[in-house]
């Protein structure tokens, strides 16, 4: 969901007042940076007005906050932990049961199957929640009753389930994978009795993202224009096959820039050489991605696209400044170790650059709009036809290579916009090309033996 995009539904006739003293909402989230200056983002809410709601959100410190507000008085549970891993999926389950004698039992929040510790306010015994109340609007990706671009959820979401009258355990919704040890969603969870306002959103239908799969027909409506960075699209990224994005927190000292589209789009910061890596690095195998040089506002050196195995520590070092960085520059040269080498064709705004990274043979290839530069052949193995030779990964500072992008212009007003595709495109592709395992959706054909950067491929080839 993008900034300013949320789903809503007018709840049907109110459910029994006793039932409304309990509810469970479970959802899977891969969080994005919130572009709002306040830093808050809303996961869900059932809201009558600004003084009456049940809601789950994340504050500027990245803590999870559940709030029950009635007649203007709000009571919160705030997590002790800070949840700021932008590359992982979180399953967040809130089980509300105000009938419990102990205050600490009236709200239980589970993160990836385990109950999270937190600070409790004094929740009123037998206080009705706002789920199942016909006077309240159900909202997903929404902060309380906000309807504009502020405080909305940004990132990925799937398998959001709600039912009123029941306080359920996380094992109803997820289980531990016997091979990877990861918490994963149950595709067809059992043990759920869906109340009249209950729902199950899988986000499987790209034309109707709010379709309810509970059997109740409680479909949600998509709202908002997402004028800041909002888009609601069906993504291939999922908890059981996590795709790389850009990493918004692997930034050098004082570096800026703006992330959007689920951390797949990046706009560089004015007046610095900021660059950003992929959220997943690789130490073996062969990998493919695409980067669209979308646009730039000013300057003469707007685009640098490549790989890195360096943790930068200053914002005055561009991609390609370090010995273990390589960047394809829009002037047709590649940059490495603070030196430029005349090499391929120039490229410009609108062009799509493909990167084939052969970690096995320490070779790197670039394509422009599907044409491999220097007559490169990514399938040539150790021969490296048309390849750039790179340092063996075991001899690099990080022991992994990351796809990366940035600019080489620190002039005031100079910014560059990049859109990435590690298998789930942030830009429109005219023809969808998957890798040999059927993963990913790329504009151009994936070279034989190369794979999209996702966890299922990493488990096999990484």
> Average pLDDT for residues 109-123, to the nearest whole number?
98
Domains for the chain: give ranges and CATH numbers: 6-223 (2.60.120.200), 258-461 (2.60.120.920)
Q: Which among 54, 68, 80, 56 is positioned nearest to 157, based on CA atoms? A: 56
Q: pLDDT at position 9, please?
A: 95
**Residue range 62-105, pLDDT digits in tens:** 999 999 999 999 999 999 999 989 889 999 999 999 999 999 99
Q: pLDDT at position 271, please?
A: 67
Is pLDDT larger for residue 224 or for residue 63? 63
Residue 443 in this model has a pLDDT that exceeds 80? yes
Q: pLDDT at position 261, please?
A: 84
Residue 414 in this model has a pLDDT that exceeds 80? no
State the pTM of this model: 0.89
Is pLDDT larger for residue 255 or for residue 76? 76
Per cent of the chain over pLDDT 90 is 69
**CA distance readout (Å), 40 to 52, 295, 307, 339, 391:** 19, 29, 32, 42, 42
Residue 267 in this model has a pLDDT that exceeds 80? yes
In whole angstroms, give the CA distance from residue 28 to residue 182: 13
**CB atoms inside a 10 Å sphere around CB 352:** 22
DSSP 54-95: EEEEE-TT--EEEEEEETTEEEEEEESS----TTS-EEEEEE
Q: pLDDT at position 228, please?
A: 42
Where does residue 277 rank: exposed (0-12), middle (13-18), buried (19+ CB within 10 A)?
buried
Residue 215 in this model has a pLDDT that exceeds 60? yes
Q: pLDDT at position 369, please?
A: 98
Q: pLDDT at position 65, please?
A: 97
Q: pLDDT at position 148, please?
A: 66
Residue 151 in this model has a pLDDT that exceeds 50? yes
Indicate the SS3 state at residue 277. strand
Contact (Cβ atoms closer than 8 angstroms) between residue 66 and residue 192: no
Residue 231 in this model has a pLDDT that exceeds 90? no
**Binning pLDDT at 50, 70 and 90, where does residue 300 land?**
low
In whole angstroms, give the CA distance from residue 173 to residue 27: 9
In whole angstroms, give the CA distance from residue 220 to residue 211: 6
Q: Which among 190, 163, 165 is positioned nearest to 97, based on CA atoms? A: 165
Residue 176 in this model has a pLDDT that exceeds 60? yes
Residue 230 in this model has a pLDDT that exceeds 70? no
Q: Which among 341, 337, 371 is positioned nearest to 356, based on CA atoms? A: 371
In whole angstroms, give the CA distance from residue 365 to residue 305: 12
Looking at 90-99, 190-199, 260-269, 436-445, which range is the least confident one? 260-269
Q: pLDDT at position 102, please?
A: 98
Is pLDDT larger for residue 248 or for residue 76? 76
> Average pLDDT for residues 285-309, to the nearest whole number?
89
Q: pLDDT at position 233, please?
A: 54
**Binning pLDDT at 50, 70 and 90, where does residue 235 land?**
low
Indicate the SS3 state at residue 458. helix
**Binning pLDDT at 50, 70 and 90, where does residue 149 land?**
low
**Residue range 353-400, pLDDT digits in tens:** 999 999 999 999 999 999 999 999 999 999 999 999 999 999 999 999
**Binning pLDDT at 50, 70 and 90, where does residue 1 land?**
low
Q: Which among 458, 413, 70, 28 is positioned nearest to 235, based on CA atoms? A: 28
User: Residues 406, 411, 412, 414: is their CA dihedral positive or negative?
Assistant: negative
Q: pLDDT at position 227, please?
A: 43
Q: pLDDT at position 229, please?
A: 43
């Amino acid at each position: 969901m993008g900034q300013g995009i949320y789903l809503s539904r007018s709840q049907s006739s109110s459910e029994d007042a006793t039932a409304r003293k309990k509810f469970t909402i479970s959802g899977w989230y891969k969080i994005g940076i919130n572009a709002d200056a306040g830093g808050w983002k809303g996961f869900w809410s059932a809201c009558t007005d600004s003084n009456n709601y049940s809601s789950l959100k994340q504050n500027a410190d990245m803590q999870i906050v559940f709030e029950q507000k009635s007649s203007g008085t709000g009571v919160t549970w705030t997590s002790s932990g800070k949840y700021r891993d932008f590359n992982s999926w979180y399953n967040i389950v809130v089980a509300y049961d105000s009938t419990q004698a102990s205050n600490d039992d009236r709200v239980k929040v589970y993160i990836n199957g385990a109950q999270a510790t937190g600070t409790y306010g004094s929740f009123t015994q037998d206080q009705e929640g706002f789920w199942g109340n016909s006077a309240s609007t159900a909202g997903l990706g929404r902060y309380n009753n906000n309807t504009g671009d502020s405080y909305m959820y940004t990132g990925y979401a799937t398998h959001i389930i709600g039912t009123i009258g029941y306080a359920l355990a996380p094992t109803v919704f997820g289980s531990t994978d016997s091979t990877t040890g990861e918490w994963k969603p149950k595709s067809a969870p059992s043990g759920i009795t869906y109340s009249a306002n209950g729902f199950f959103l899988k986000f499987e239908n790209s034309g109707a993202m709010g379709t309810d799969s509970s059997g109740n027909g409680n479909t949600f409506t998509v709202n908002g224009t997402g004028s800041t960075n909002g888009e609601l699209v069906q993504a291939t990224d999922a908890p059981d096959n996590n795709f790389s994005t850009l990493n918004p927190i692997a930034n050098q000292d004082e570096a800026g820039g703006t992330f959007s589209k689920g951390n797949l789009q990046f706009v560089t910061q004015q007046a610095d050489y900021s660059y950003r890596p992929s959220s997943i690095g690789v130490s073996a195998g062969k990998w493919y991605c695409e980067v669209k040089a979308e646009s730039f506002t000013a300057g003469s050196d707007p685009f640098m696209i490549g790989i890195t195995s360096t943790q930068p520590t200053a914002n005055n070092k561009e991609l390609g400044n370090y010995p273990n960085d390589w960047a394809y520059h829009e002037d047709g040269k590649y940059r490495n170790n603070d030196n430029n080498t005349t090499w391929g064709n120039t490229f410009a705004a609108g062009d799509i650059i493909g990167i084939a990274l052969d970690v096995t043979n320490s070779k790197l290839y670039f394509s422009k709009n599907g044409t491999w530069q220097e007559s490169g052949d990514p399938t040539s193995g150790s021969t490296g036809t048309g390849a750039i030779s790179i340092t063996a990964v075991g001899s690099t500072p990080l022991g992994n290579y990351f796809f990366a992008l940035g600019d080489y212009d620190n002039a005031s007003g100079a910014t560059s916009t990049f859109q990435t595709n590690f298998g789930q495109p942030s830009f429109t592709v005219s023809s969808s090309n998957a890798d040999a395992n059927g993963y990913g959706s790329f504009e151009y054909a994936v070279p034989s033996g190369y794979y999209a950067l996702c966890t299922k491929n990493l488990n096999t080839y990484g």
